[in-house]
Amino acid sequence: MLPAASTYDELVARFAWRIPERYNIGVDVCDRHAAATPDAPALIFEDESGVLAVHSFADLKAASSRFANMLAAHGIARGERIAILLPQSPETAIAHIGAYKAGMIAVPLFVLFGEDALEYRLSDCAAACIVTDTNQLPKIAAIRARLPALKKVIVVDGKGAAGTLDFHGELARASDRFAPVDTAADDPAVIIYTSGTTGNPKGALHAHRVLLGHLPGVELPQDMFPKPGDLFWTPADWAWIGGLLDVLLPSLHHGVPVLAHRFRKFEPDRALDLMARHKVRNVFFPPTALKLMRQSGIAADARVKLRSIGSGGESLGEELLDWGRTTFGVTINEFYGQTECNLVVSNCASLFAVKPGAMGRAVPGHTLAVIDEDGNVLPDGSEGEIAVRRPDPVMFLRYWNRPADTQAKFAGDWMRTGDRGKRGPDGYLRYVGRADDVITSAGYRIGPAEIEECLLKHRAVAMAAVIGVPDALRTEAIKAFVVARAGTKVDDALVAELQAHVKTRLAAHEYPREIEFVAELPLTATGKIVRRELRRREIEKREGKAP
């Protein structure tokens, strides 16, 4: 989508959106290529045991068409929500593509979510169907009775489980001929849940056009992707917007194959070997993965020949940028966005200078500003809230079933990001901090309210408050302040029990690495937790100012 250009200014001047009135993600990333280059590789899947399988675009078209027919045969209708609770795998891609072709709404879910997190999301979107595997099935079985809208549970790697359908068996019985639904570019396609500071996570509803809106923001940090010989991989789960819409779907749009392999635990040496063996050229590395690689002491590997590395979610410092150049021979391009409006700021070392501490410049096609509390645009150099102007094809349609929250997200035509920043006269944007309480930990944006609610379900907890505290590896670690119930024995065993409680019921990446027991929490007159006061106290304690 980005035109050829020799400078950033030329690129911006030559860029124009090309968003057709009728558009379907599934047709775009799959059926279109199956008609033109049916045998071209689309997915290269290496499982945990090292077994390799290559899936062509023709393979994906046939399987996704069978999946769409299977859903219809089981009474799932256009517009209903299809939850996808799987790691990186061909079945994940097939379910997404099939759902889009059928005019349904995909709901990606993270495999590390616990029962509470899954129940909330499945209930909130009233998912009619879920595609999962036997590893996740016990969690679904435990909550299924409380999900009246859930009609079907489809299992990709098991047969015979009561009340479930066998994914591959059902596909074998379905026809591979399917006429994709004629969707408008503005029709709903996917709900991705994002965390906030109060209440439960919100479902950001995106239209089919969201993929086209992502393309410039993928192409720029991947140094004008695609180029001949490109092959894309990310260790990020496809359940998050970074894996799904920063890598999988944009790469398939361009007909570039995607390597699918998800480590249970990220291991730098194995990541290097994987990239070398498959001749990976383009990578999205979350900042924590880069930090883990740097900490591990890995050396430059001549077998690894990356052309581009993109990273987003946390600011990259000069030291990490220098390490990337030394280790991989390329400059890591940082980018910025959020679930509601992703990939709107980026660096591109092949086109303009990367300045340490700067997120980059506005991606062509997106209009950004720094605004005050009333939505007024501030002059360059002023600190305020980073905002994106609508209409914008990458911007969400609305929060699912949350009109008031949707309205509060905007100040006139400016979508508030909740992040504070500054823009220089050269157009580079610098991130200052969050205007809300969202915690950025290991590349995840985590809302404290969901963790607090989970802690409150434990018998020993009377009250709980959660904040982010500085962490060298993760940017922030999660810390919980807990008021224990009367008569509770407070010790290390209770700390471990509470941590395990959050790990298993919510998600492994959301458990509090630090827990401090307190007699009371700072509250407003209406009983709301004053998290900024907890952060202030924590800063003073770490600076040695607190008693």
Taking only the tens place, the pLDDT of each residue in 73-82 is: 999 999 999 9
How far, in Å, CA of 379 to CA of 424, rounded? 9
474, burial (CB in 10 Å: exposed 0-12, middle 13-18, buried 19+): buried
165-179, 310-324, 439-453 — which one is most confidently predicted on average?
A: 165-179
Q: Quick one: average pLDDT of 492-504?
A: 96
Q: Quick one: average pLDDT of 442-471?
A: 87
Q: Quick one: average pLDDT of 251-269?
A: 93
Q: Quick one: average pLDDT of 445-474?
A: 88
Q: Quick one: average pLDDT of 331-358?
A: 95
Q: Is residue 503 predicted with pLDDT exceeding 50?
A: yes
Tokens of 79: 């517009």
pLDDT confidence bin for 253, thresholds 50/70/90: very high
151, burial (CB in 10 Å: exposed 0-12, middle 13-18, buried 19+): middle
Q: Quick one: average pLDDT of 416-428?
A: 93
CA 447 to chain centre: 14
Mean pLDDT check: name the lowest of 335-349, 355-369, 389-403, 445-459: 445-459
Q: Is residue 195 predicted with pLDDT exceeding 70?
A: no
Encode pLDDT of 382-393 as tens digits: 999 999 999 999
pTM for this prediction: 0.89
Mean pLDDT check: name the lowest of 293-302, 327-336, 507-516: 293-302
* Architecture field, domain 20-208: 3-Layer(aba) Sandwich (3.40)
How far, in Å, CA of 448 to CA of 436, rounded? 11
Instruction: Give me the pLDDT at residue 546, please.
Output: 54
**Domain positions in the chain:** 20-208, 439-542
Instruction: Give me the pLDDT at residue 527, please.
Output: 59
Domain 439-542 indexed as CATH 3.30.360.10: no
246, burial (CB in 10 Å: exposed 0-12, middle 13-18, buried 19+): buried
The mean pLDDT value of the chain amounts to 93
> Is 266 or 221 the better-scoring residue by pLDDT?
221
pLDDT confidence bin for 197, thresholds 50/70/90: very low
Q: Quick one: average pLDDT of 435-463?
A: 85
Instruction: Give me the pLDDT at residue 38, please.
Output: 98
What is the signed CA dihedral for 51, 56, 62, 63, rounded to 10 degrees?
A: 30
Instruction: Give me the pLDDT at residue 528, please.
Output: 66
Encode pLDDT of 125-155 as tens digits: 999 999 999 999 999 999 999 999 999 999 9
